[in-house]
């Protein structure tokens, strides 16, 4: 067993700690900034990420942060590389290594994730820049007659190649097959698609000789589509998500981290809290992007005067989610800051 990957995995899923996803690509961060009237310049993105990473007490609740390529090459106001800013605070730097999605040829409405071509060389560079783990996101869309088996299997094969290459470079892969919440599908349909996807991913990981003990799975909760009229009860989400994961994810996988996927921050925390009360073979945690950052970004708005308040909002969300990992979150925590 490789001891560096082993210790990275253990640190990432340390009790009460989760992962901050701050790896928004150029189009995604632009969309989030634009909604608040912030211009997405290189300096604005740098200042925003520096604000997040230098949040006081963040490492009490956050074990690792996923960076975007641009951020990995940027420095703090004091001239310190961003990965070092995090590492100095006891937060493990990681990196999104996929190059986003494109249309899957001949399969209307479906996507394939790109980035394998140059990956081996880029992984060496990222390691030198301080990354200790990587992430690759595959996107599965639910709609009329989709996803197809082809879309699921080609994305699973790409995830498995990514994971094998990451482990070759001694970087812990976070394997993320995201089943999108977009649409009006039922919760049953989400469970069916997520379960087929996860099974395909684990077959591909096995074929590619990926060491399950040295990876993490990042997945969504089982939810009805966001346009479905009946939204699910917290307990039902927990029960269904756990059933799906127990059936499809081998116990050798050390940890499963949830993405937030567009759920509101408080709802994501409530559901995480309910899921984490169960006895399961893996460590469960969060790897939220929007559900951790949204309140902080809304307060920050691009102004340095707002940094302290924005950081407090991020620290508070991270703390609420940390409590949720222990099944100890309650609605009162939203008003009682400690």
Residues designated as active site: 176, 218
Q: Determine phi and psi for 90, rounding to 5 degrees.
A: 80, 20
Using CB atoms, what's the residue nearest to ligand 13P?
289
CB 54 within 8 A of CB 314: no
Nearest 5°: the CA angle 30, 64, 170 is: 105
CB 329 within 8 A of CB 320: yes
Q: Determine phi and psi for 20, rounding to 5 degrees.
A: -95, 115
Does 296 interact with ligand 13P (rule: CB under 6 A)?
A: no
Structure tokens at 223: 């939810």
Q: Which of 289, 297, 315, 325 binds ligand 13P (CB under 6 A)?
A: 289
Does 259 interact with ligand 13P (rule: CB under 6 A)?
A: yes
Does 288 interact with ligand 13P (rule: CB under 6 A)?
A: yes
Q: Which of 5, 9, 20, 21 binds ligand 13P (CB under 6 A)?
A: 21
The CB-of-95 to ligand 13P minimum distance in angstroms stands at 12
The CB-of-328 to ligand 13P minimum distance in angstroms stands at 21
Tell me the window of 98-106, 111-119, 259-267, 296-304 that interacts with ligand 13P (CB under 6 A).
259-267
Does 291 interact with ligand 13P (rule: CB under 6 A)?
A: yes
CA 32, 112, 105, 262 torsion: positive or negative? negative
Tell me the window of 79-87, 109-117, 285-293, 327-335 that interacts with ligand 13P (CB under 6 A).
285-293
The CB-of-70 to ligand 13P minimum distance in angstroms stands at 16
Does 61 interact with ligand 13P (rule: CB under 6 A)?
A: no
Nearer to ligand 13P, 244 or 294 (CB): 294
Q: Determine phi and psi for 137, rounding to 5 degrees.
A: -110, 125
The CB-of-137 to ligand 13P minimum distance in angstroms stands at 4
Does 137 interact with ligand 13P (rule: CB under 6 A)?
A: yes
Nearer to ligand 13P, 254 or 289 (CB): 289
Does 300 interact with ligand 13P (rule: CB under 6 A)?
A: no
CA 301, 305, 309, 314 torsion: positive or negative? positive
Nearer to ligand 13P, 122 or 317 (CB): 317
Does 261 interact with ligand 13P (rule: CB under 6 A)?
A: yes
The CB-of-41 to ligand 13P minimum distance in angstroms stands at 22
Distance between CA 121 and CA 128 in Å, rounded? 11
B/e letters for 27-51, b = 16+ CB within 10 Å, e = fewer, are: eebeebbeeeebebeeeebbbbbbb
CA 150, 221, 181, 96 torsion: positive or negative? negative
Smallest Cα–Cα separation from 300: which of 11, 5, 37, 48? 48
Nearer to ligand 13P, 20 or 333 (CB): 20
CB 23 within 8 A of CB 96: yes
Binding mask 147-166 for ligand 13P (x = CB under 6 A): --------------------
Nearer to ligand 13P, 263 or 332 (CB): 263
Give 199-211 as a 3 state SS string.
HHHHHHHHHCCCC
Q: How many CB atoms lie within 10 A of CB 304?
A: 10
CB 175 within 8 A of CB 201: yes
Nearer to ligand 13P, 74 or 219 (CB): 219
Nearer to ligand 13P, 130 or 289 (CB): 289
Residues contacting 196, CB < 8 A, separation 6+: 152
DSSP designation for 288: E
The CB-of-271 to ligand 13P minimum distance in angstroms stands at 12
Which residues of the chain form contacts with ligand 13P (CB under 6 A)?
21, 23, 137, 176, 259-261, 288-291
């Amino acid at each position: 067993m490789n001891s560096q990957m082993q210790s990275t995995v253990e640190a990432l899923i340390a009790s009460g700690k989760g992962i901050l996803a701050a790896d928004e690509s150029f189009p995604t961060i632009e969309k989030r900034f634009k909604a608040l009237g912030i211009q997405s310049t290189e300096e604005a993105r740098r200042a925003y990420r520096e604000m997040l990473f230098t949040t006081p007490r963040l490492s009490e609740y956050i074990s690792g942060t996923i960076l975007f390529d641009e951020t990995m090459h940027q420095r703090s106001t004091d001239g310190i590389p961003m990965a070092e800013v995090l590492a100095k605070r006891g937060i493990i730097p990681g990196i999104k290594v996929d190059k986003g999605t494109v249309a899957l040829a001949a399969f209307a409405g479906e996507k394939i994730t790109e980035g394998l071509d140059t990956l081996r060389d880029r992984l060496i560079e990222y390691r030198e820049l301080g990354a200790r783990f990587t992430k690759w996101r595959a996107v599965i869309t639910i709609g009329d007659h989709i996803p197809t088996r082809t879309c699921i299997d080609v994305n699973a094969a790409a995830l498995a190649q990514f994971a094998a290459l990451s482990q070759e470079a001694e970087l812990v892969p976070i394997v993320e097959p995201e089943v999108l919440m977009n649409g009006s599908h039922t919760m049953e349909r989400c469970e069916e698609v997520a379960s087929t996807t996860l099974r395909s991913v684990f077959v591909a990981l096995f074929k590619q000789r990926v060491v399950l003990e040295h990876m993490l799975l990042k997945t969504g909760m089982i939810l009805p589509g966001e346009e479905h009229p009946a939204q699910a009860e917290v307990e039902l989400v927990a029960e269904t998500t756990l059933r799906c994961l127990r059936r499809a994810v081998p116990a050798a996988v050390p940890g499963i981290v949830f993405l937030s996927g567009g759920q509101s921050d408080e709802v994501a925390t409530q559901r995480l809290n309910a899921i984490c009360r169960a006895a399961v073979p893996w460590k469960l945690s969060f790897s939220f992007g929007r559900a951790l950052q949204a309140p902080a970004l809304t307060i920050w708005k691009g102004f340095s005067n707002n940094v302290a308040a924005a950081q407090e909002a991020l620290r508070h969300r991270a703390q609420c989610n940390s409590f949720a990992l222990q099944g100890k979150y309650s609605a009162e925590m939203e008003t009682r800051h400690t």
